[in-house]
Amino acid sequence: MVTGTSTDVGKTVVTAALAAAAREAGLSVTVCKPAQTGVAPGEPGDLAEVSRLSGVTAVVELARYPEPLAPDTAARRSGLPMVRCADVTDAVRALDAEYDLVLVEGAGGLLVRLGAEGFTLVDVARALDAPVVVVSAAGLGTLNHTELTIRALSAAGLACAGTVIGSWPDEPDLAERCNLDDLPAVTGVDVVGSVPAGSGRLDSAWFGAAASGWFDGTWLKATLTAR
């Protein structure tokens, strides 16, 4: 599972980077997006970006709503059916039987309501007993947001597989540099990677060649071979 401390922290690019690294390691990879919002029918969404960057073409989107809102709100306003937690877990289990690695990208932050009965990525991760990667911002505010997210995971009995900085600037300021040390100290979870700012603008060849280098090598190898 790939979640974020909020929206626009780099979940899609981190998901693509993990997919590209796994593909480079010779694994078969698929990516699932339970609910995509803010994208009209026929328009490219997050999974199109994952495919463009990583080269992974096996992607599954379970629901799509046109307004850029939380999925449950977007579903109600559109009159379209809400996705159910069972829809997500059933889809992931089916993919898991076919692929070496299944990545599930959430929407917004960890506790965003994804669909019917207000389920969140916590419910999906718990049902699947899946580890969760948390994507964080680099700058001011990230200590609080990241600790809150990881505390929510811990309270649910879920393992955080690591924190990844979704967009690391070319010239980090003082707060950003300090956060690299402070994030593990306040959360108890290692920062296992950082994606350079602007990586989402790379073409697939450059992105694929660089992606594995954005993660701690020992962590990446253990994560990709955990199965």
Q: Which residues are catalytic?
A: 33
Cα–Cα distance list, 115 to 8, 12, 29, 88, 107 (Å): 20, 20, 25, 10, 11
The answer on whether 117 is annotated among ligand-binding residues is: no
Is the Cβ–Cβ distance between 21 and 220 less than 8 Å? yes
Of 107, 7, 100, 115, the C-alpha closest to 58 is 100
Residue 108 in marked binding region: yes
Q: Consult the annotation and say whether 13 binds a ligand.
A: yes
Name the nearest CA neighbour of 199 among 170, 156, 160: 170
Residue 142 assigned as binding residue: no
Rounded-to-integer distance, Cα 4 and Cα 105, Å: 9
Question: Is 8 annotated among the ligand-binding residues?
Answer: yes
Is 221 marked within a binding site? no
User: How far from the centroid of its chain's Cα atoms is residue 151's Cα?
Assistant: 17
Judge whether 223 is annotated as a binding position. Answer: no
Judge whether 166 is annotated as a binding position.
yes
User: Nearest 5 degrees, angle CA 11-CA 194-CA 157?
Assistant: 60
Residue 106 annotated as lining a ligand binding site: yes
- Of 114, 29, 132, give the one whose Cα is nearest residue 64: 114
Please tell me whether 75 is known to bind a ligand: no
Asked if residue 167 belongs to a known ligand binding site, the reply is yes
**190 contacts 161 by C-beta, under 8 angstroms:** no
Dihedral sign (CA 166, 168, 174, 180): positive
- The conformation of residue 215, written as its DSSP 8-state character, comes to B
Binding residues for Mg(2+): 12, 46, 105
**Annotated binding residues for substrate:** 37
- Residues annotated within a binding site: 8-13, 37, 46, 105-108, 166-167
